[in-house]
Structure 1
Amino acid sequence: MKKLIFVLLASSVSFSSLAADLMSKVEFEKVKDQYVEVGNISTSGETDPASAREELSKLAEEKGGDIFVVTSANTNNKIHGTAIVYKKK
């Protein structure tokens, strides 16, 4: 289940209602020189991957980030996820 949640969180499908964009680790490696890290974020208690992703996006925007890269995702009846936030240089 952990892998399923991570895959759903890390997919590159974008939703127009999201503020900061999710970027996969593979995609980020290709452009990492264009970004600077601005902080870490986490969410817990979400009931589905889309809600977790939306919450991480809002938190990333609040930190002034343009993108976020999921670093972990877990579930025990509720979804918990962490991410690093980056801002374009």
Structure 2
Amino acid sequence: MKNVFALLVTAALFSGATFACDKPAAPELPDPASAVTAQMIKAKNDVKAYLDAANSYIECVKGNASRHNAMIGEMETVAANFNEAVRAYKERMTAG
């Protein structure tokens, strides 16, 4: 009987009931007015990693519409801010 109880406790500890969804932090973007190419490439990689982690988070919170929708909104904001930074960076590089 002890073994059955221990098995049930172990199963409960490793079940989805105790699994926490880790919301990713948005990456910091460089200032496109002064950024160098290496910073922009790093930002691109950071944004991609963030979006991948955000997609995993969305899978984890499946069924929780408010958390899902909040993450989608944040993803859209990060993508829009990154695209704006890239446009400004490219504009600066071609103007110089």
* Interval of TM-score (by shorter of Structure 1 and Structure 2): under 0.3
TM-score, normalised by the number of residues in structure 2: 0.25
Q: Which has the higher helix share?
A: 2
Greater RCO, CA 8 A, separation 6+: 1
* Larger-Rg structure: 2
TM-score by length of structure 1 reads 0.27
